[in-house]
C-alpha cells in the first residue's frame, strides 16, 4: 500500500522537524531540554494567531513560526539556559519541566484552553493522484518542506564553516574551545535555530496533530522517542529514525489496528535494547 507508506513518511518527516532541534541541543550541549515542545507550540500559535487574527496567508506566517520561537530561544538561552550547562541532568529536567508547566498554563490563561485551528489555503486541501497513488496535498507539502530542510541542514553542517565548527564543538567542546572556536556563540545560534525549527514543526503539525495548550506535553514523548532512537550525533540519525517510526506507526495501525497503540513503543524498546546508543549513533 503506497498510500500508507506515503502517510508514514509524511508523519515521520513531521516528527523529524519537531525533534531535530532537540537532537542537536542534546548532542551539542548535553542538555536535556524537555521544554522543546513549548517552542513548537509557540510556532504553532504564531501561525494560528497570525492567520486567524491578522489575516495573513498561511505561507507568510511560516517565517514567523520559525522566527519568533528562534528569538525566544535566543533570549532564553542567554538568561536562563546558559547557567545550567554542565549541571546534572536531573536539574535540567526539573528546570525544563518547570518551563513547560509555565508555558502550558500561560498559554491557557492568555489564549484559552480550546483548540486552535489553522485554515489551509485551498491549494493545500484535498488530494491528487501521483502515478496512480492518491496522495494528500498537505502531506506532500510537508514532505517537500521537510525534505528541503533536511538537505539544507545537511549542507550547512557538512559544507559551511559554521557546520564544521558545530561538529567540532559537538565532538569535543574542550578541544574546540582550545582551537579558538567561540563555543558559546555556536551554542546560542544552534539553540535558536533548533527552537525555530521546532516552531516550524509546530506550525506545520498543527493541522495534523491538533494545537492546544497541552501540546508540549503531548508531543514530548514522541519527540524524545525519535531522539533516543536516532541518536544525537548527526542529522541523519534522527531523520532515519523519524521516518522509520513514522512508517512503522502508520503501517502498524493500518494492518493491525487492534495493536495499534503498542507498535511505536514496542519498536522503540526493541531498538534501544539492541542498540542502547541509538540506531545510528557512532560507537563511542
Partner 1 sequence: MSAPPPGLAAVEAGFAARARLRLVEPALALVAVACFFAFPDRHLLMAEIAVLALFALSLDLILGYAGIVSLGHAAFLGLGAYAAGIVAVRVTPDPLLGLAAAGIVGGLAGLATSPLVLRGADLTRLMVTLGVALVMGEIANRESWLTGGADGLQGIAMGPVLGFEFDIVGRVANAYALAVLVVLALLARLVVLSPFRASLVAIRDNPLRARAVGIPVNRRLVAIYGLSAAYAGVAGGLLCQTTQFVSLDVFGFERSADVLLVLVIGGTGWLYGGLVGAVLFKLLVDALSSLTPQYWHFWIGLILVVLVLVGRDRMRDGARRLVGRLGPPRTAP
Partner 2 sequence: MDRRLVLAAALGLAAAAALPARAQEVAKIGLILPMTGPFASTGKQIEAAVKLFQARNGDTAGGRKVQVILKDDGGTADVTKRLAQELIVNDKVVAIAGFGLTPLALAAAPLATQAKVPAIVMAAATSTVTEASPFVVRTSFTLAQVTVPMAEWAARDGIRKVVTLVSDYGPGIDAEKAFTEVFTKAGGTVENLRVPLRNPDFSPFLQRAADAKPDAVFVFTPSGVGAQFMKQFVERGLDKGGIRLISTGDVVDDDILNDMGDAALGVVSTHHYSAAHDSAENKAFVEAFRKAAGFRPNFMAVGGWDGMQALYAGLDATKGQGGQALVDAIKGTTWTSPRGLLTIDGATRDVVQSVYVRKVERKDGELWNVEFGSSPAVKDPVKAAKAP
Count other Cβ atoms within 10 Å, centred on residue 284.
Answer: 5
Give residues 223-242 in contact with partner 1 (rule: CB under 8 A): 224-225, 227-228, 232
Instruction: Provide the minimum distance between the beta carbon of 97 and partner 2 in the complex, in angstroms, as a whole number.
Output: 15
Tell me if 103 sits within 8 A of 110, measured CB to CB. no
Nearest CA to 239 out of 23, 7, 33, 62 is that of 23
Stretch that binds partner 1, among 50-58, 86-94, 138-146, 169-177 (CB under 8 A): 86-94
Kindly compute the dihedral angle of the four CA atoms of residues 184, 185, 190, 195, in this order, to the nearest 10 degrees: 90
- The CA angle 14-8-210, to the nearest 5 degrees, is 45
Which of partner 2, partner 1, none is residue 219 near (CB under 5 to 8 Å by kind)?
partner 2
The cell for 13 is 518527516
- Interface positions with partner 2 (CB under 8 A): 1, 3-4, 7, 11, 52, 105, 108, 112-117, 119, 125-127, 134, 136-139, 207-210, 212-214, 218-219, 222, 249-254, 257-258, 260-261
- Count of residues in contact with partner 1, rule CB under 8 A: 43
Q: What whole-number distance in Å separates Cα of residue 108 and Cα of residue 105?
A: 5
Tell me if 255 sits within 8 A of 8, measured CB to CB. no
Pick between residue 246 and residue 278 the one whose CB is nearest to partner 1.
278
Exactly one of 87, 119, 159, 185 binds partner 1 (CB under 8 A); which one?
A: 87
| Contact map string, positions 9 to 48, toward partner 1, x by CB under 8 A | -----------------x-----x----------------
Helices of type H across the chain: 2-29, 36-52, 58-76, 89-111, 137-159, 161-171, 173-178, 183-209, 215-230, 236-255, 260-274
Q: Report the interface residues with partner 1, using CB under 8 A.
A: 26, 32, 80, 83-84, 87-95, 97-106, 108-109, 221, 224-225, 227-228, 232, 261-262, 265-266, 268-269, 272-273, 276-278
Amino acid at each position: 500500500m503506497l498510500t500508507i507508506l506515503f502517510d508514514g513518511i509524511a508523519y515521520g518527516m513531521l516528527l523529524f522537524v519537531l525533534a531535530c532541534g532537540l537532537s542537536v541541543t542534546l548532542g551539542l550541549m548535553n542538555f536535556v531540554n524537555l521544554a522543546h515542545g513549548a517552542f513548537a507550540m509557540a510556532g504553532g500559535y504564531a501561525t494560528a494567531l497570525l492567520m486567524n487574527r491578522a489575516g495573513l496567508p498561511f505561507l507568510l506566517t511560516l517565517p514567523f513560526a520559525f522566527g519568533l520561537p528562534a528569538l525566544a530561544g535566543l533570549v532564553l538561552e542567554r538568561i536562563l539556559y546558559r547557567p545550567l550547562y554542565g549541571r546534572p541532568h536531573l536539574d535540567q529536567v526539573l528546570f525544563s519541566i518547570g518551563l513547560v508547566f509555565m508555558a502550558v498554563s500561560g498559554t491557557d490563561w492568555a489564549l484559552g484552553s480550546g483548540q486552535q485551528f489553522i485554515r489551509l489555503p485551498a491549494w493545500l486541501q484535498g488530494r491528487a493522484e501521483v502515478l496512480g497513488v492518491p496522495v494528500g496535498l498537505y502531506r506532500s507539502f510537508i514532505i517537500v518542506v521537510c525534505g528541503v530542510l533536511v538537505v539544507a541542514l545537511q549542507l550547512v553542517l557538512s559544507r559551511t564553516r559554521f557546520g564544521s565548527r558545530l561538529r567540532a564543538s559537538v565532538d569535543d567542546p574542550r578541544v574546540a574551545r582550545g582551537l579558538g572556536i567561540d563555543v558559546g556563540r555556536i551554542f546560542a545560534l544552534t539553540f535558536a535555530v533548533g527552537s525555530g525549527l521546532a516552531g516550524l514543526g509546530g506550525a506545520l503539525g498543527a493541522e495534523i496533530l491538533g494545537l492546544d495548550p497541552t501540546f508540549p506535553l503531548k508531543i514530548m514523548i514522541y519527540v524524545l522517542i525519535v531522539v533516543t532512537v536516532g541518536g544525537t550525533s548527526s542529522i541523519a540519525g534522527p531523520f532515519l529514525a523519524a521516518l522509520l517510526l513514522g512508517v512503522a506507526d502508520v503501517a502498524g495501525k493500518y494492518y493491525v489496528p487492534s495493536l495499534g497503540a503498542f507498535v511505536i513503543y514496542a519498536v522503540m524498546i526493541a531498538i534501544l535494547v539492541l542498540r542502547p546508543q541509538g540506531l545510528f549513533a557512532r560507537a563511542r
